[in-house]
Structure 1
Amino acid sequence: MHRFVQAFAVHLLTASGAALALMAMLAAGRGDWPMMFLWLLFALVVDGIDGPLARRVRIEVHAPQWDGVLLDLIIDYLTYVIIPAYAMVEAALIGPGWSLAAGLMICCTGVIYFADKRMKTRDNSFSGFPGCWNMVILVLFAVDIGSWGAMLLMIAIALMQFFPLKFVHPVRTRRWRPANLGAMAVWAGCAVWAAWTSFEAPAAVSALLVASSLYLMGAGIAQQIVPAGRPFRLRREG
Structure 2
Amino acid sequence: MTPRLKALLVHLLTATGSVLSMLAMLAAVEEKWSLMFLWLVVALIVDGVDGPLARRYHVKTNWPTYDGVLMDLIVDYLTYVFIPAFALFKSGLLTGWPGWCVIIAIVYGSVVYFADTRMKTKDNSFAGFPACWNMVVLVMFAIKPPEMVILFIVIALAVAMFTNLKFIHPVRTDRWRALSLPMTVGWVFFAGWAAWVDFDPKSWALWGLIISSVYLATAGIVQQIVPPHPLARRIR
> In which range does the TM-score fall when normalised by the shorter chain?
over 0.9
**Pairwise CA distance, 1:229:** 4.2
Partner in structure 1 of residue 130 of structure 2: 130
Is the partner of 1:131 in helix, strand or coil? coil
Partner in structure 2 of residue 178 of structure 1: 178
Deviations 1:12-68 (A, max 9, x none): 000000000000000001100000000000000000000000010110000011111
Partner in structure 2 of residue 113 of structure 1: 113
- 2:32 pairs with 1:32: yes
How many angstroms apart in 2 are the aligned matches of 1:97 and 1:198?
Answer: 27
1:208 maps to a residue whose letter is G
Partner in structure 1 of residue 89 of structure 2: 89
**Pairwise CA distance, 1:96:** 3.8
**Pairwise CA distance, 1:119:** 0.4
Partner in structure 2 of residue 166 of structure 1: 166
Partner in structure 1 of residue 233 of structure 2: none
**Pairwise CA distance, 1:127:** 0.5
How many angstroms apart in 2 are the aligned matches of 1:175 and 1:26?
Answer: 39
- 2:62 pairs with 1:62: yes
How many angstroms apart in 1 are the aligned matches of 2:51 and 2:201?
Answer: 32
1:132 maps to a residue whose letter is C
1:181 maps to a residue whose letter is L
1:169 maps to a residue whose letter is H
**Pairwise CA distance, 1:203:** 5.0
Note if contact 2:15-2:71 (Cα within 8 Å) is conserved in structure 1: yes
Q: State the TM-score, normalizing by the size of structure 1.
A: 0.94
Partner in structure 1 of residue 51 of structure 2: 51
Note if contact 2:93-2:144 (Cα within 8 Å) is conserved in structure 1: no
RMSD: 1.2
- Structure 2: runs of 5+ lacking an equivalent: 231-236
- 2:156 pairs with 1:156: yes
- 2:14 pairs with 1:14: yes
How many angstroms apart in 2 are the aligned matches of 1:201 and 1:49?
Answer: 30
How many angstroms apart in 1 are the aligned matches of 2:32 and 2:202?
Answer: 20
Note if contact 2:143-2:201 (Cα within 8 Å) is conserved in structure 1: no
How many angstroms apart in 2 are the aligned matches of 1:101 and 1:7?
Answer: 41
Partner in structure 2 of residue 235 of structure 1: none
How many angstroms apart in 1 are the aligned matches of 2:157 and 2:65?
Answer: 36
How many angstroms apart in 1 are the aligned matches of 2:209 and 2:201?
Answer: 10
**Pairwise CA distance, 1:131:** 0.4
Note if contact 1:186-1:208 (Cα within 8 Å) is conserved in structure 2: yes
How many angstroms apart in 2 are the aligned matches of 1:203 and 1:163?
Answer: 35
Q: Relative to structure 2, which stretch is displaced further, 183-192 or 11-20? A: 183-192
1:61 maps to a residue whose letter is T
How many angstroms apart in 2 are the aligned matches of 1:32 and 1:158?
Answer: 26
Identity of aligned residues (%): 50
Q: Aligned pair count?
A: 230
Q: Relative to structure 2, which stretch is displaced further, 106-115 or 183-192? A: 183-192
- 2:220 pairs with 1:212: no
2:212 maps to a residue whose letter is S
Note if contact 1:193-1:201 (Cα within 8 Å) is conserved in structure 2: no
How many angstroms apart in 1 are the aligned matches of 2:144 and 2:211?
Answer: 15
**Pairwise CA distance, 1:202:** 2.6
**Pairwise CA distance, 1:98:** 1.7
- Structure 1: runs of 5+ lacking an equivalent: 231-238
